[in-house]
Amino acid sequence: MDKQYDLIIIGSGPGGYRAAVLGALRGLEVAIVEHAQWGGCCLNRGCVPKKTWHHSARMLSAARRHFGARGINGSLQADLSAAWEHQKGVVTTVRDSYIDYMKRLGIDTHEGHARLKDPETLQIEPGEGAGYDLRARSIILAVGSRPHVPETLPATPGRILTTDMLFDDPVPDGRRVAVVGSGVVAAEFTYILKMLGCDVTWLARSGLLRKAHFSPQALSQLREALREDGIEPHPEGGRIRTSEISDAGVHIVLEEGGSIDCDWVLLGTGRHASTDNLGLEAVGVATDRRGFVKCNDQLQTSVPNIYAIGDCASPIMTANKALADATVAVTNILEGNNTDRDDLWVPFVVYSATELARVGMDEDMAEDEELEPAVGFAAFETSPCALGQDDARGFVRLIGDMDSGALLGGEIVGAEAGELIHLLALAPDRDTALRWLARGRFNHPARSEELLNATETMASKWGMKDLIF
C-alpha cells in the first residue's frame, strides 16, 4: 500500500482523534495510525475511566456526609472490582462510538507502528504482515506520553502499578494502597481510591499541586476537603529509600527512617513524552533534552509540514491541551500558519475531593506583564444552588485588568468547577468578557450566578464600574 493523503496523524488519543475529525470535516483526506488501543491514554487509562470513578466517589462521599439529613436513609458499600468493570464498559462504549464516527467521516484507520522515512512518508509496521508506506502533504505527531517509573519503585503487575496498569487489568487484591506523588494524579486518586473502599497511604514528596498555578486559597480548600474525607499526606513525607515486593505485598522504607506496608502501590509520579523510535532524527525533527518535540507557536516542528500536539510536545500533559492543539494545527495546515496556540486559556481542571479549575493568568503572571490585576471574589457558601446541594465549599475568583477592564484569568473551586470554567474559557472577547458577564442572563438558582457576583464585586471594589457596567 502506498497511498497519498492530505493529512496523516500518528496517535489516536484526544488530540489525534480531534485532528482527524476536524480535518475530515473541513474537507481533507485523512488517515490516522495507532499502534496500541484506539483512543490512546485518555480514553483507555486516563480521563474517561478516572472521571467515571470520580463520579462514583462523589456519590459515596455525599452519602456518608449528607444523605441522612436529606431523608435518604440506608448505607452504600463500595466495590472497587465492580467499579473497574463499570468503567471498562464505559470505555468500550465510547471507543466503539469513536471508531464508528471516524469510519462515517471517511477517515482511513491504520494499525501498526509508524516511523518517518522522509518529511512526507511514513512506514507502517503492523503487528503481523508486511509493512507499507503512506504519504501525506502534512503530518501531525500526536503520540502522547508514558508513565515515569522511579528506580525505587519498579513497575510490577499486581504490586506496583502505573495508572496505565491500573486500568489495563483488573485491580489487585487488597485494600491497603500507597499512592505516590503530589501532582494531579495523586491528588485525584488518593480521594477516588479512598472513597471506593481502599485504606490509602499518601506519599507526597513535595507540595500539593506545586506546578499547577492554583492560588493558596484554592489549595487550602482542597486540603480541607481531603482532610474531611480522612486523607492527608504521610507525616514522614514521600521520599522513598527502598521497596521490597513479596507475597504479602510491598514494604516501603522512607528516607526519614519510617516504613509502611501495603498490598499494592499506585504511582502518580509524572510522565515522559513518547517520542522515541519514530524516525524523528532521520528527517530533522528536533526534540529537547526531555524528549519533547520542539514546536513554534503554530505547532510546526523544525520540519515545516510536520506538526506536534499534546503530551509529546509540551509538559502541560492534559487532554484539554491536546484537543486545543489539534484545532490549532489543523487550522494552520488549512489556512497558512496564522493561528498561535494559547496554552494559558486552555482549562486546567483537577477532580478530587473538590474540583479545581483555572484559565488565564494569576496575579503574579499579570504583574510580570506589567498589568494591574484586580480580583473579584464570590463564595458558594451563600449560593442557594450550592446550599440546596449540601455542597457549599468553594468560590469563584476572577482576575481583571484595572486599566482596561479585560479579563486576565479566573479560578473556580467547588462542585461543577470543571463545567463552570467554560464560561471564562469560551468568552467571545477577553477585552469585554467582564462586561459580557455583567450583562448576562442566568438561570436561578445556579452555581454560574457566582461568576456574575464576582464580576460585580470586582467592579465595585476596584473602581471599575465604568469599564464593566
| Interhelix angle 80-104/14-25, nearest 10 degrees | 20
Q: Is the CB of residue 180 less than 8 Å from the CB of residue 153?
A: yes
Rounded Cα–Cα distance for residues 337 and 354 (Å): 39
Helix (H) or strand (E) holding 189, with range, is: helix 184-195
Coil vs helix vs strand at 372: coil
From the CB of residue 55, how many other CB atoms can be counted at a distance below 10 Å? Answer: 12
Rounded Cα–Cα distance for residues 455 and 410 (Å): 11
Q: Is the CB of residue 119 less than 8 Å from the CB of residue 137?
A: no
From the CB of residue 168, how many other CB atoms can be counted at a distance below 10 Å? Answer: 13
Residue bearing cell 444523605: 67
Rounded Cα–Cα distance for residues 90 and 54 (Å): 13
Q: 260 is written with which cell numbers? A: 509502611
Radius of gyration (Cα) for the chain, nearest Å? 24
Letter for the amino acid at 310? G
Question: Catalytic residues, which ones?
Answer: 444
Coil vs helix vs strand at 392: coil
Rounded Cα–Cα distance for residues 325 and 142 (Å): 10
Q: Cα-flanking dihedrals φ and ψ of residue 120, to 5°? A: -125, 10
From the CB of residue 130, how many other CB atoms can be counted at a distance below 10 Å? Answer: 8
Partner residues linked to 251 by β-bridges = 244, 261
Q: Is the CB of residue 171 less than 8 Å from the CB of residue 212?
A: no
